[in-house]
């Protein structure tokens, strides 16, 4: 199964042109409406396509980066779950269309999910083909998080509020606060968590980046 995700703005022709460059069986679009003329245009095109490629839509807020990130992640997770028994499942991300926030989010999601990302570079105003550009994408995945690190991040995500190191130690089963502090420093350097103080007590919570990481974690 070949599945392509694409951000869609006000230029469906640009996205359609890019879609034609990469073979697929399903298209999943990220838009801000279920009844936009741009979405209708793409659906109509593929309704008449002999390959009968299926088109799905995912609603996002095109001007809210966190909303885009979380909904894009959720869409990809659902597809992976749906086709988890298919060893040949291939997901690609098309960032040719949409707002800058949408394309930025798609690029970030590609990095975090280790998915190939591309866009179509238009060579000239009258050029109907363009050049396909594949974005260099390091193969980094949330699967790299293991054991204690995974437990700390997921616990903070489940609690979803600032908590003390002593409570976090208790929830994760670590032996000492000192052992917890080493991981906290590492996560702060990675912008995954942030610290605050309530009197003499240090409280920690996830940053937006940390929340995105938790959303990426597999159940």
Which pLDDT belongs to residue 216?
76
Mean pLDDT (the chain, rounded): 86
Which pLDDT belongs to residue 155?
93
Q: How far apart are CA 70 and CA 76, in angstroms?
A: 10
Which pLDDT belongs to residue 129?
65
Which pLDDT belongs to residue 21?
81
| DSSP string over 19-63 | HTTS--SEEEEEES-SS-HHHHHHHHHHHT-TT--EEEEEE--TT
Q: How far apart are CA 18 and CA 15, in angstroms?
A: 5
Which pLDDT belongs to residue 140?
45
- The CA-based angle 80-70-184, given to 5 degrees, is 100
| Long-range CB pairs of 213-216, under 8 A, 24+ apart, other chains included | 213/112, 213/142, 213/145, 213/153, 214/153, 214/154, 214/156, 214/157, 215/69, 215/70, 215/73, 215/74, 216/73, 216/77, 216/112, 216/113, 216/142
Order of strands, edge to edge, in the sheet holding 131-135? 54-59, 26-31, 2-7, 90-94, 117-121, 131-135
Q: Are strands 2-7 and 26-31 parallel, antiparallel or unpaired?
A: parallel
Which pLDDT belongs to residue 53?
86
DSSP code at position 128: S
Which pLDDT belongs to residue 179?
81
Those residues of the chain that have pLDDT short of 50 are 140, 219
Q: What are phi and psi of 72, to 5 degrees?
A: -65, -45
Q: How far apart are CA 72 and CA 62, in angstroms?
A: 11
Domains in the chain (CATH in brackets) are: 2-140 (3.40.50.10770), 143-216 (1.10.10.10)
66: how many CB neighbours lie within 10 A of its CB?
15
Q: What are phi and psi of 179, to 5 degrees?
A: -65, -30
**Rounded to a whole number, what is the distance in angstroms from the first to the last CA of the chain?**
22
Which pLDDT belongs to residue 204?
95
Which pLDDT belongs to residue 19?
78
Q: How far apart are CA 74 and CA 40, in angstroms?
A: 23
Q: How far apart are CA 16 and CA 24, in angstroms?
A: 13
């Amino acid at each position: 199964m070949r599945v392509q995700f694409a951000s869609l703005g006000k230029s469906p022709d640009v996205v359609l042109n890019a879609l034609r460059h990469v073979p697929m069986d399903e298209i999943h679009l990220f838009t801000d409406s279920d009844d936009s003329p741009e979405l209708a245009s793409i659906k109509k095109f593929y309704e008449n396509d002999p390959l009968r490629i299926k088109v799905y839509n995912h609603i996002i807020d095109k001007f809210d980066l966190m909303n885009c990130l979380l909904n894009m992640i959720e869409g990809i997770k659902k597809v992976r779950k749906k086709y988890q028994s298919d060893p040949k499942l291939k997901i690609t991300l098309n960032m040719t269309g949409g707002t800058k926030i949408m394309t930025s989010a798609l690029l970030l999601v590609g990095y975090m999910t280790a998915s190939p990302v591309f866009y179509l570079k238009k060579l000239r105003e009258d050029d109907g083909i363009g050049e396909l550009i594949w974005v260099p994408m390091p193969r980094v995945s949330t699967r790299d998080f293991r054991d204690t690190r995974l437990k700390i991040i997921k616990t903070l995500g489940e609690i979803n509020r600032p908590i003390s190191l002593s409570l976090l130690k208790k929830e994760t089963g670590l032996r000492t606060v000192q052992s917890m502090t080493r991981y906290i420093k590492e996560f702060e350097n990675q912008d995954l968590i942030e610290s605050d103080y309530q009197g003499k007590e240090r409280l920690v919570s996830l940053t937006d980046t940390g929340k995105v990481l938790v959303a990426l974690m597999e159940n």
